[in-house]
Structure 1
Amino acid sequence: MAYPLEKQKGRFIAVFWVIFNLGAVIGALVPLAQNLHSTAPEVNDGTYYAFIALMLFGFLLACCACNPHFVVRKDGSRVILMKQPTWKSEFIGLFETLRSDWYIVFLFPFFLASNWFYTYHFQDVNFAYYNTRTRALNSVLYWSMQMVGALIFGTFLDMGRLSRRTRAKVGLAALFTLTMAIWGGGYAFQKTYTRAMTEAEDYQKKDFQDSGYIGPMFLYMFYGFYDAAFQTTAYWIIGSLSNNGRKLANFAGFYKGIQSAGGSISPSIDAEKVAFMTEFAANWGLLAGSILIAAPVVWMKVTNHTELEKDLVFTDETREEVVATDPTATDAKH
């Protein structure tokens, strides 16, 4: 959100989300390949060995990350950061951000909803309804569609023919439309089974070779597409509010912190054996409601361009240190 030019933020977020979910696709392919011909209810030990090896590789690869102070954009501008941040200055920055950008609280329900539905998708649909190999196949399709959704929404949100304000409004409206369409299809599917049915001892979990699999399969794929659309839009909206790396880090901290809170509350509710339809309704209502609550921020706070003077507040950088050396490389409309 802080590194790219304003007209590139959607693509940067999309590339991040594609790489992020490529890991999930690989993670789903491993148990699919190892359990494709297995009817056992659990994955085998080799699945965990593969995950450990991948995590170790990722840990080592992270050591190659570039120092953000060395990042220079195409127009010669630099990322706005604190030169000498401390624990104290960063904690103070959180409160400064809440005071100066108080409107961010209207995005908190949006943040809360962004991971709330994972428990429903993974536990109440994929795990409850399907056997092991079919769950693995569904996961491959789910995370693959995340990559597609991120590319589509990221590309649209950078579309140069429309102003940034227009793209923000249309993007949020498109997300609300998807919420009603995809989760409306989910409602029709959820009516076909209950928690009591799937937890019965004689329940035979569905396999991808069973008749009637294709329709729910596409629904699960669109659930993945929707997740990417929601997350990409969230990151892009946050990124459109500032180019200040410190402020965006605080925004991202609020986003991931509240998102994780939602991701922890949801499974605790599921552990109480709440009816699947009740959990579905809570998810659908929270998603739709959070978009409506976020709309005033998009309508009133997203501008066509963020002024540099506004971004230099609460930093120790000067204009001369971060200003573009090649103004022709930027487009203020974006």
Structure 2
Amino acid sequence: MSITEDNGVNHQKKSFYRSVPFQIAIAAGVSFTAPGMWDALGGLGAGGAAEPFAVSAANAILYALFAVFCILAGAINNRIGLNWGLAIGAIGYPLYGAGLYTNNKTATTWFMIFGSVCCGISAGFFWAAEAAIIIGYPSPRERGFYLACWQTAKASGPIIGGAITLGLNANRETAGSVGSATYIVFIVLMCLGLPIALCLSPAHKVWRKDGTRVVVHKHASWGAELQAVGRLAISRRILLLVPAFFISYFYNPFVSTWLTSYFTVRSRAFSSFFTPFAGIFSSFIIGSFLDRQSIFIRTRARTAFAVIVIMLCGTWIWAIILQKRFYDNPPVFDWFKGGFGSAYALVFFWTFTGQAFQQFCYWIVGQYTTDLTSLSHHTGILRGLEALGQTVAWALQSQAQVNHFVSIGLNFGILLIAIIPTWIVVSALDHTHEIVVTEEIITSDNKSDEGEGSLSIPSESRTPNLSGVQLPTVN
């Protein structure tokens, strides 16, 4: 995805402020304060509320908007820059937290709906931008590692938030809503996302330690950007991946309802604190495996996907067994008492395997893109389809009398449907997906049309590494 600099010519000292690790740290910081805190609230079950149904309905609205704006943001962020897309994306999360606070404090639903609408729109920009940054800024051979770092930062939000929640609610042995002070702390942390996002560097100024540069190619107009997204959305590879993208986070709303239905407040607070560690463990395990160059890329992909599918199938079989046990006499588990271990372990492994599956989807997308424009479009579609899945899942959980077996069956069934088409895409990987992608030298007229610092590349062009190509100075 880059041009190689001629290190023999360019001796200018590069600023750490423009380095990949710094950019990943900025993206991770925003992920910690915005969606990380959002996940911390979700880890309480229904945003910490006593009744999950109103919150589930608000989240269904959020994800419906998220699905639409994430796909559009893949094109918009490419025009305005990923740094501005990330900043816009951080705005809506504090409003969502404020909406949950007012609902908890005064049972006001209109502001909770308003916060969900704002968060749904801004989250589309956030995830389309952040996913492109995390996959596109590092070199191809470091993507698994930086994906794991990003997921760790995202998981750290629920860990810190869960520790706060646990401290504020540790004496609450009954089911119900969490204390209002919990929301205040989360809202303050969410507000930090915007100033952190403004520190991100534009893509064309970022340098990598291996001497390569990020390829940036803007289409000639807004219409061309949207047309490119449309063409990609109906391409064979994306259509094959639709079931995998749709199901990758479909389980999350059901986990929220499961926690609210069967666990006390302090047990949910414990889950909010401890469960994110599952995502951290699985992220580094799968990230280190997918980056291992000594194993052929297709073998890595097939092995990782097979293990993830087997583990996911195991969790849903486990869920069926437990749900059958809970059906006639629903329990309320307090921490580390009578049956808590087997019920909570399922939540832990849902997160462990679910996070690995999502990271695998990001990695697959990264292998089939050649420049930041294509990557932005791919990640926008990926997150949009994930959000569409969660829209359906949250809408299902918003029904007060929903049968948990229906949710379990949908999760299990769509997962099985996703196996064969995803396997077809995985089986098409070969070694060319991990070689350095370089620019074709373009005329000055074309370059001026694209804008300063923006370079053009054919969407599927891969050529041998070009040594000796002098690049513009990175500020």
- With the length of structure 2 as denominator, give the TM-score of the two structures: 0.62
Rounded Cα–Cα distance in structure 2 between residues aligned with 1:256 and 1:318: 24
Deviates further, 83-92 or 208-217: 83-92
* Structure 2 residue aligned with 1:290: 418
Q: How far has the Cα of 1:92 moved from its partner? A: 2.2
Q: How far has the Cα of 1:90 moved from its partner? A: 2.1
Letter in 2 for 1:77: T
Rounded Cα–Cα distance in structure 2 between residues aligned with 1:216 and 1:98: 39
Q: Is 2:368 the counterpart of 1:244? A: no
Q: How far has the Cα of 1:171 moved from its partner? A: 1.1
Aligned with 2:427: secondary structure? helix
Aligned residues: 316
Rounded Cα–Cα distance in structure 2 between residues aligned with 1:298 and 1:122: 31
* Structure 2 residue aligned with 1:330: none
Which of 267, 274, 292 pairs up with 2:402? 274
* Structure 1 residue aligned with 2:239: 105
Contact 1:75–1:325 under 8 Å retained in 2? no
Letter in 2 for 1:133: R
* Structure 1 residue aligned with 2:101: none
Q: Is 2:137 the counterpart of 1:3? A: yes
Letter in 1 for 2:349: F
Rounded Cα–Cα distance in structure 2 between residues aligned with 1:2 and 1:70: 13
Rounded Cα–Cα distance in structure 2 between residues aligned with 1:38 and 1:179: 32
Deviates further, 277-286 or 46-55: 277-286
Structure 2: gaps of 5 or more residues: 1-134, 443-449, 469-475
Letter in 2 for 1:288: L
Letter in 1 for 2:456: E
Q: 1:242 to 1:303 in 2, by over 3 A?
A: farther
* Structure 1 residue aligned with 2:191: 56
Rounded Cα–Cα distance in structure 2 between residues aligned with 1:303 and 1:323: 15
Q: 1:274 to 1:18 in 2, by over 3 A?
A: same
Deviations 1:29-87 (A, max 9, x none): 22211000123621111111101110011221111112111112223221121257653
- With the length of structure 1 as denominator, give the TM-score of the two structures: 0.86
Letter in 2 for 1:127: T
Q: How far has the Cα of 1:308 moved from its partner? A: 6.3
Q: 1:197 to 1:264 in 2, by over 3 A?
A: farther
Q: Is 2:150 the counterpart of 1:16? A: yes
Q: How far has the Cα of 1:246 moved from its partner? A: 0.9
Q: Any residues of structure 2 matched to 1:136-155 within 5 Å, and which?
A: 136-155=269-288
* Structure 1 residue aligned with 2:427: 299
Deviations 1:92-117 (A, max 9, x none): 22024346x43211101111101211
Contact 2:247–2:389 under 8 Å retained in 1? yes
Contact 1:76–1:323 under 8 Å retained in 2? no
Which of 295, 298, 304 pairs up with 1:165? 298
Rounded Cα–Cα distance in structure 2 between residues aligned with 1:267 and 1:108: 19
* Structure 2 residue aligned with 1:192: 325
Rounded Cα–Cα distance in structure 1 between residues aligned with 2:262 and 2:439: 49
Rounded Cα–Cα distance in structure 1 between residues aligned with 2:439 and 2:302: 23
Contact 1:157–1:168 under 8 Å retained in 2? yes
Deviates further, 87-96 or 140-149: 87-96
Q: Is 2:222 the counterpart of 1:117? A: no
Rounded Cα–Cα distance in structure 2 between residues aligned with 1:263 and 1:318: 35
Letter in 1 for 2:160: I
Q: 1:139 to 1:37 in 2, by over 3 A?
A: same
Q: How far has the Cα of 1:209 moved from its partner? A: 3.8
Rounded Cα–Cα distance in structure 1 between residues aligned with 2:437 and 2:382: 25
Which of 209, 225, 237 pairs up with 1:90? 225
Rounded Cα–Cα distance in structure 2 between residues aligned with 1:323 and 1:72: 20
Letter in 2 for 1:168: A
Rounded Cα–Cα distance in structure 1 between residues aligned with 2:464 and 2:200: 24
- Structure with greater contact order relative to length (CA < 8 Å, sep ≥ 6): 1
